[in-house]
Amino acid sequence: MAAVSFHNVAKSFGATKVIQGIGFDIRDGEFMVLVGPSGCGKSTLLRMLAGLEDITDGTIAIDDKIVNEVESKDRDIAMVFQSYALYPHMTVADNMGFSLKLRRADAKVVAERVAEAAKVLDLEPYLHRYPRELSGGQRQRVAMGRAIVRDPKVFLFDEPLSNLDAKLRVAMRSEIKALHQRLRTTTVYVTHDQVEAMTMADRIVVMQDGRIEQIGTPLELYDRPANLFVAQFIGSPAMNVVGGVVRRQGGHAFVETEGGARWPLNGHGGTDGQRVFYGVRPEQLALADHGAAVQAEVIVVEPTGAETELLMNVGGDRIIVVIHGRTNVKPGDRVGLTIEIDGVHLFDQETQMALDAPMQTAGVRAAPAAA
């Protein structure tokens, strides 16, 4: 096992800078997820850690040893990719043992390690099969087995579940997490899927355009997003965001939108006249018969069984409300909404930084580039 640290790491392809100078630490045994939209630099960062890509600037260290100049094969890292590229002419056992054989490991040791990995991954009945005789999920487990047999210091995963169907993806998510709980090997896991990030990570690094937007535990990011990007990237359905102006007058506090809606505020966040984005998560809104804070018109009702998602219009802004259970409301109905006011987030319109969340996490970007 090992700790990993990135210090001012930058990467350019020709004249294009794709990693902008990134620094953060991964603790020994931690499951760290790098998440962000496609093209933000996740794979590039992972490949630099793996030694598959030169580091243009800065340093990467594994257990305090700078590895910039260390060859990939000497970094004691194992990587699992989206395309698991098993050798079609080799059995499951041979696929899993191949990298050890290449390293001239003793045949007995190889057999032992393969047997152990097969046990951990429930692959024992399939050891003599060929990849074409396996399901997608089983192949993915063989790819993980190949990594496990090496007993590396660090596991790297690059979108390993992207090729699986939705149901299998959820199952594999739990398997990988359970595997980590057993082995406790430091893991860096890349995905563009925020749900995957939220459900699997000890901590998450949210990236955009080659920069870090915020680092934190899943619930820290959910409860205290440092900026508008993180607020809207983490959480599904996404946080509702409406633009408006803070009004704090005569004991009243609210954000007034262009359409005239007044979204209530509690005692802090924003000064009178400040232009802000008002953010509230879909599950922090509820239908109300009385005591409603804002009035809404129902546009679409989407029941999923356990929950109902409602698309609504509030003063010209489209918002989503998620309620537990079912409802009788129909498109066209006018309803009142209550708001969990302490869950409200405010972001300055210019800087897009949160006004209510203290900057408690390391690695938070000072201010995003103007949009």
Residues forming contacts to ligand ADP in the complex (CB under 6 A) are 13, 18, 36, 38-44
Q: Which distant-in-sequence residues (6+ apart) come within 8 Å of 157 by Cβ?
A: 79, 80, 176, 187, 188, 189, 190
What's the closest the beta carbon of residue 39 comes to Mg ion, in angstroms?
A: 8
Residues that bind Mg ion (CB under 5 A): 43
- How would you classify the pairing of strands 294-303 and 307-314? antiparallel
Helix (H, G, I), strand (E, B) or coil at 170: helix
Q: Of these partners, Mg ion, ligand ADP, none, which one is at the site of residue 18 (CB under 5 to 8 Å by kind)?
A: ligand ADP
Question: Given the complex with Mg ion, which of 83 and 360 has the nearer CB atom?
Answer: 83
Question: Given the complex with Mg ion, which of 210 and 282 has the nearer CB atom?
Answer: 210
Q: Of these partners, ligand ADP, Mg ion, none, which one is at the site of residue 270 (CB under 5 to 8 Å by kind)?
A: none
Residue 190 pairs in a beta bridge with: 34, 158
Q: How many whole angstroms separate alpha carbon 246 and alpha carbon 285? A: 20
- How would you classify the pairing of strands 240-249 and 275-280? antiparallel
Question: Given the complex with Mg ion, which of 43 and 240 has the nearer CB atom?
Answer: 43
Amino acid, single-letter form, for residue 53: E
Phi-psi region of 230 (alpha: psi -120 to 50; beta: other; left: phi over 0): alpha
What's the closest the beta carbon of residue 224 comes to ligand ADP, in angstroms?
A: 24
Question: Given the complex with ligand ADP, which of 40 and 123 has the nearer CB atom?
Answer: 40
What's the closest the beta carbon of residue 229 comes to ligand ADP, in angstroms?
A: 15
What's the closest the beta carbon of residue 43 comes to Mg ion, in angstroms?
A: 3
Q: How many whole angstroms separate alpha carbon 32 and alpha carbon 40? A: 17
Q: Of these partners, Mg ion, ligand ADP, none, which one is at the site of residue 125 (CB under 5 to 8 Å by kind)?
A: none
Q: Of these partners, ligand ADP, Mg ion, none, which one is at the site of residue 188 (CB under 5 to 8 Å by kind)?
A: none
Taking each helix axis from N to C terminus, what angle separates 107-120 and 136-148, rounded to the nearest 10 degrees? 130
Question: Given the complex with ligand ADP, which of 48 and 321 has the nearer CB atom?
Answer: 48
Nearest alpha carbon to residue 188 among 200, 172, 199, 178? 200
What's the closest the beta carbon of residue 39 comes to ligand ADP, in angstroms?
A: 4
State the CB neighbour count (10 A cutoff) for residue 275. Answer: 13
Q: Of these partners, ligand ADP, Mg ion, none, which one is at the site of residue 181 (CB under 5 to 8 Å by kind)?
A: none
Q: Of these partners, ligand ADP, Mg ion, none, which one is at the site of residue 41 (CB under 5 to 8 Å by kind)?
A: ligand ADP
- How would you classify the pairing of strands 186-191 and 31-35? parallel
Question: Given the complex with ligand ADP, which of 118 and 156 has the nearer CB atom?
Answer: 156
What's the closest the beta carbon of residue 43 comes to ligand ADP, in angstroms?
A: 3
Question: Given the complex with ligand ADP, which of 43 and 352 has the nearer CB atom?
Answer: 43
Q: Of these partners, ligand ADP, Mg ion, none, which one is at the site of residue 44 (CB under 5 to 8 Å by kind)?
A: ligand ADP
What's the closest the beta carbon of residue 80 comes to ligand ADP, in angstroms?
A: 15
Taking each helix axis from N to C terminus, what angle separates 92-102 and 107-120, rounded to the nearest 10 degrees? 130
